[in-house]
Amino acid sequence: MALLRLLALSLLFAVATPVRDIAHDACSSEVKDFQHLNNSSGLHLTLHHPQSPCSPAPLPADLPFSAVLAHDGARIASLAARLAKTPSSRPTLLDESRAGSSSSSPDDESLASVPLGPGTSVGVGNYVTRMGLGTPAKSYVMVVDTGSSLTWLQCSPCVVSCHRQSGPVFNPKASSSYASVSCSAQQCSDLTTATLNPASCSTSNVCIYQASYGDSSFSVGYLSKDTVSFGSTSVPNFYYGCGQDNEGLFGQSAGLIGLARNKLSLLYQLAPSMGYSFSYCLPTSSSSSSGYLSIGSYNPGQYSYTPMASSSLDDSLYFIKMTGIKVAGKPLSVSSSAYSSLPTIIDSGTVITRLPTGVYSALSKAVAGAMKGTPRASAFSILDTCFQGQAARLRVPEVTMAFAGGAALKLAARNLLVDVDSATTCLAFAPARSAAIIGNTQQQTFSVVYDVKNSKIGFAAAGCS
């Protein structure tokens, strides 16, 4: 566990300006007038890079990038296990025979060993925002994850364990609108698909959830409902997990907001009033830049779209079809079938994009050829196409990723290369094993919309900085 605590700091994504160098008044908690937002409707939240000095839970910026890669690898491995439906185990469950009452958190728990299904590693590249909960509402820093369904946060009295978080832990007893959920409720049965783990039941009929993640992080607690709020918008009877045993790599966040395709996700619970779509722009880690998370309506004419692809592997994840990549205007020397040799997922929490092996090899060769005048550097962990210098100071070729339906991502240097230390930058791609994944390095500064109702995903350039 000591190792887990140390690597929790791998929320960091790249070398950035230390927190002390940024004046606090340079940061804004308000969503700016981003060009792709529909400011007349919808719910708009400020989104921060996990390493940004303006994050509500900022972290130091001097950790090795190797730690980031290690936990990015854990996320990839967990997604692979999830697609293969490979179970895992973790000795952490609130004992069903000693759970508390249906109206408050218990005071006496023990642990039992139970099988836990594969989840998705969080905490490496996940972005953060704020969520209000309870009556009266209190604000909590939450990581945002398109690969998870159940929203949960730490709750007092933290009977077993709570990790360190920014601000106070949520106290259910202080909220007049809080209620635990009974084992007979449909939402309790829905936990199996939301968390990939079966629900448990206390002797007092309280539903117990188990959310496990690929890096051995987990949250176990009581399925609950309360009023959730974002600014002036409040929604009653929101179902979430009230965590009593929360351990692992969540940084200083209070918990996690799930945006996957599942009836218990935040998206689906807010959809009746907001609509079945959400969009975001993931900002870079530099300076005081921020992005946004928007739930509800958007400006449809500003995006290029690709259909959401159906997959029997996991119907909660977002699959799309990649059709090609060009480097300096020239298609890669691979067959069109190479792009579809593996399923492709778009994910907000993966840092390094994974490509089918043949496609990756061709991309590496093409980029290296286009940058042949730039001194090469040694490989850095899984990143084998590296150069001397920093991405922002190098001349790089234009790289375009194309998707079914005509959607495309035209990558700038910041989307193509990642600085692994002060003197080295590497191609921010790696070969995939079981699934291709479009990670957040390539998505940064683009507006990305997930129109679940119309089963399509859209991209628009220059969404944020």
Report d(CA 52, CA 17) in Å as an integer. Answer: 8
The whole-number pLDDT of residue 98 equals 36
Q: Among the options 72, 347, 419, 451, which is catalytic?
A: 347
The helix or strand, by DSSP H or E, that contains position 268, with its residue range, turns out to be helix 266-274
Q: In the predicted model, is pLDDT for residue 2 greater than 60?
A: no
Over residues 309-325, the pLDDT tens digits come to: 999 999 999 999 999 99
Q: pLDDT at position 26, please?
A: 62
What is the model's pTM?
0.87
Query: DSSP secondary-structure letter at 36?
Result: T
pLDDT of amino acid 16: 27
Low-confidence winner among 50-64, 183-197, 254-268 (lowest mean pLDDT): 50-64
Segment 341-372, tens digit of pLDDT? 999 999 998 999 999 999 999 999 999 999 99
- Name the band, by pLDDT with cuts 50, 70 and 90, for residue 442: very high
Asked which of 71-85, 125-139, 382-396, 441-455 is least confident by mean pLDDT, the reply is 71-85
Mean pLDDT of 450-460: 97
Domains assigned to the chain: 113-294 (2.40.70.10), 297-460 (2.40.70.10)
How confident is the model at residue 377, as a pLDDT?
98
Mean pLDDT of 388-394: 96
pLDDT of residue 131: 96
Q: Which of these is catalytic: 145, 190, 314, 419? A: 145
Average pLDDT over residues 190-200: 94
Q: Which of 219, 216, 217, 235 is nearest to 227 (CA)?
A: 235
Q: What DSSP string runs through 77-110? A: HHHHHHHHT--EEES--B-GGG---SSS--S---
Q: Is the predicted pLDDT of residue 124 greater than 60, yes or no?
A: no
Is residue 347 among the annotated active site residues? yes
In tens, the pLDDT along 200-213 reads 998 899 999 999 87
Q: Copy the structure tokens of residue 183.
A: 């084992």
pLDDT(68) > 90:
no
Region 47-67: mean pLDDT is 74
Q: With contact defined as beta carbons under 8 Å apart, do 260 and 294 qualify?
A: no
73-115 pLDDT, tens digit each: 888 888 888 888 765 544 345 644 333 333 444 333 332 333 3
Q: What is the pLDDT of residue 23?
A: 47
What is the rounded average pLDDT for all residues in the chain?
84
Q: Residues of the chain with pLDDT > 70: what percent?
A: 81
DSSP string for residues in 204-244:
T-BEEEEEE-TTS-EEEEEEEEEEEEETTEEEEEEEEEEEE
> So what's the pLDDT on residue 448?
97
Confidence of residue 62 (pLDDT cuts 50, 70, 90): low
Higher pLDDT, 302 or 121: 302
d(CA 351, CA 208): 32
Which pLDDT tens digit goes with each residue over 285-298?
Answer: 775 678 999 999 88
Tell me the average pLDDT across 443-461: 97
Instruction: Read off the pLDDT of residues 215-232 as tens digits, 9 standing for 90 and up.
Output: 678 899 999 999 999 988
Q: Is 145 a catalytic residue?
A: yes
pLDDT the model gives residue 103 = 40
The pLDDT score that the predictor gives to residue 36 is: 75
| Nearest partner of 228 among 298, 151, 297, judged by Cα | 151
CB 124 within 8 Å of CB 285: no
Among 30-34, 222-226, 426-430, 438-442, the least confident range? 30-34
Structure tokens at 439: 């990670």
Over range 392-406, report the average pLDDT.
97
